[in-house]
Amino acid sequence: MSSTATQPASSVSSASSGTASFPAPNPKEMQRVFDVQKRHFHKVLKVSKAKDRVVLLKKLLAAVERLTPEIKQALQNDFRKAPHETDLTEIMPSIAELKDAIRHVKTWMKPERVKTPVSLFGARSSISYEPKGVTLIISPWNYPFYLAIAPLTAALAAGNTAIIKPSEFTPETSKLLTKLVKETFQEGEVAVFEGDHTVSTALMELPFDHIFFTGSTHVGKIVMAAAAKNLSTVTLELGGKSPAIIVPGANLKKAAQKLVWGKIMNAGQTCVAPDYLLLPEGQTEEFVKQAKAAVKSFYGETSADIKNNKDFCRLVNQRNFQRVSGYIHEAVEKGGKVVMGGETDSSQNYIEPTLISNVPENARIMEDEIFGPVLPILTYKNLDEAVEKVLSKPKPLALYVFGSNNKHINKVLKETSSGGAAVNDVIVHLANPNLPFGGINHSGHGSYHGWWGFRTFSHEKSVFKQAPFSSIEMLYPPYNGFVDKMLQFTKKFFV
């Protein structure tokens, strides 16, 4: 879910990350499992009923609940993610997705009646939701459990099989996902292939019916190109530089608290984390004051307190640490000023929550998605200037606006484009299963969560049922005078 960062957030990467070596991919085994799933899909899942899918979803739900302690430990081992944060951002959202699908899959599966024009009198029309088939889910490292389980939930609810390729950058969580799947499903239903980017590349050679990828924009283009070879449909959940705009008159204390929480959660390694802040001129000092107060209330009074706080996780690996710390150093060299935090420790992949003001536009931190606990602050003279700044960059995955003036808020929402938006909050819009989650252009294609996930993994098949008598029969050849009159009548009254 990184935009142009050198270290993508997906497991389809050619870059070395310092992770353990993996065995070479086994295309024959991949083909075998693919064929097993294809047979199982056509014999069983293609004709499955709601109750059959609910059984699979309940098995997955039970496995998540049973393995919760192991999930927490795996994420702690991978990048010191706090158990409470794992509950909040990995376990609870997974359970919520599953329970929502279990409650609603029967309704989702029902054919949708649509109107038939009078010119086709007697016929009935509907949309039938049929499963796409064998699907591939390539999940990222930043939320390695939830971002595998959520699309899997949608795939199963829609009646598909799935092969999951988890990230090699979080090996403990990947092993845990393999264990969960093997203990819960038949090979023909769900399977996991662990490994590095070569495994993803080999898997994408297979003619999947749908590929669901979460990761960087750069790698998303690679996935889309690979899918094109087999004309596989794709869902790309990417990222980008999600802006936060504080409009004049906003409550800076509340805005700072929410922005600090959203930016520092998961050490900033969140695709919808605020990536830069646009603030009215003259308010930087007060905002920094309130942000410092929020950090102290969350993680401790001093830099040492923050560093030693077990609730503050680390960057996933050394390469990401070097990338993000490099952004800070370059921004300062080009005239930026660290106004909060700034401490780093390469031995722990630790970066203190950091604010940087006076950031020049040509700094890499203003070009790449940061994916770390660092927030650049830019100021604007008027709201038009702030909107222009957003429009000068690729469309982001999320946009945040803080304020109480509805005219200002509506101006920002109407004049900008983003995958999603939240007013007076950050990130939590993802928790509503009734809202589609996804990007636009550089930040992604397609959406999911709840009903939208079911649709993503389904083919919307048009079904037209003709009555014993068809008005169209009166327009069959030979095209004589009668047909001519009928055509004129139809065009005049029914078209």
Q: How confident is the model at residue 236 (pLDDT cuts 50, 70, 90)?
A: very high
pLDDT value for 492: 81
Reported as type and span, the H/E element at residue 311 is: none
- The band of 244, judged by pLDDT with boundaries at 50, 70 and 90, is very high
Position 410, amino acid = N
The band of 3, judged by pLDDT with boundaries at 50, 70 and 90, is very low
Whether residue 271 lies in the annotated active site: yes
Amino acid identity of 86?
T
pLDDT band at 20 (very low <50, low <70, confident <90, very high): low
- pLDDT > 90 fraction of the chain, expressed in percent and rounded: 87
425-460 residue pLDDT tens = 999 999 999 999 999 999 999 999 999 999 999 999
Question: Which structural domains are found in the chain, ordered by start?
Answer: 27-239+447-459 (3.40.605.10), 243-434 (3.40.309.10)
Q: Which residue did the predictor score with more confidence, 23 or 78?
A: 78
Q: Which two tokens stand for residue 6?
A: 């050198």
Asked, as a colleague might, if the bond just before 144 is cis with ω within 30 of 0, I would say no
pLDDT tens-digit series, residues 46-61: 999 999 999 999 999 9
Q: pLDDT tens-digit profile of 252-286?
A: 999 999 999 999 999 999 999 999 999 999 999 99
Average of pLDDT values for 464-478?
A: 86
**237 annotated active-site:** yes
Instruction: State residue 395's pLDDT score.
Output: 96
* pLDDT, tens digit (0-9, with 9 covering 90-100), for 181-212: 999 999 999 999 999 999 999 999 999 999 99
Q: What is the mean pLDDT of residues 315-335?
A: 96
Is it the case that residue 13 has pLDDT exceeding 90?
no
The residue-averaged pLDDT of 133-158 equals 98
Mean pLDDT of 274-301: 97
- Neighbouring C-alpha atoms within 13 Å toward the C-beta of 130: 13
User: Is the pLDDT assigned to residue 12 strictly greater than 70?
Assistant: no
Query: Which residues, including other chains, have CB under 8 Å from residue 197's CB and lie 6 or more apart?
Result: 11, 12, 13, 14, 168
For residue 433, is the peptide bond before it cis, meaning its omega torsion is within 30 degrees of 0?
no
| Residue 5 confidence (pLDDT) above 50 | no
The pLDDT score that the predictor gives to residue 23 is: 79
Q: Which of these is catalytic: 271, 313, 352, 369?
A: 271
CB atoms within 10 A of CB 310: 11
Question: Tokens representing 140?
Answer: 């990222």
- How far apart are alpha carbons 50 and 172 in whole angstroms? 34
pTM: 0.92
d(CA 444, CA 237): 5
Q: How many other β-carbons are positioned within 10 Å of the β-carbon of residue 58?
A: 13
Residue 303: alpha-carbon gap to chain centroid: 32
Question: By the 8 A CB rule, do 236 and 213 touch?
Answer: yes
Burial 416-429 (b: 16+ CB within 10 A, else e): bbbbbbbeebbbeb
* CB-CB neighbours of 282 under 10 Å: 9
pLDDT of 1 reads 41
Q: What is the mean pLDDT of the chain?
A: 93
**In this predicted structure, what is the pLDDT of residue 238?**
95
Residue 18 scores a pLDDT above 50: no
- Asked whether 166 and 177 are in contact (CB, 8 A), the reply is yes
Q: Is 136 left (phi over 0), alpha (psi -120 to 50) or beta?
A: beta
Per-residue pLDDT tens for 357-405? 999 989 999 999 999 999 999 999 999 999 999 999 999 999 999 999 9
Taking residue 111's Cβ as centre, other Cβ atoms within 10 Å add up to: 11
Q: Which of 189, 237, 352, 369 is catalytic?
A: 237
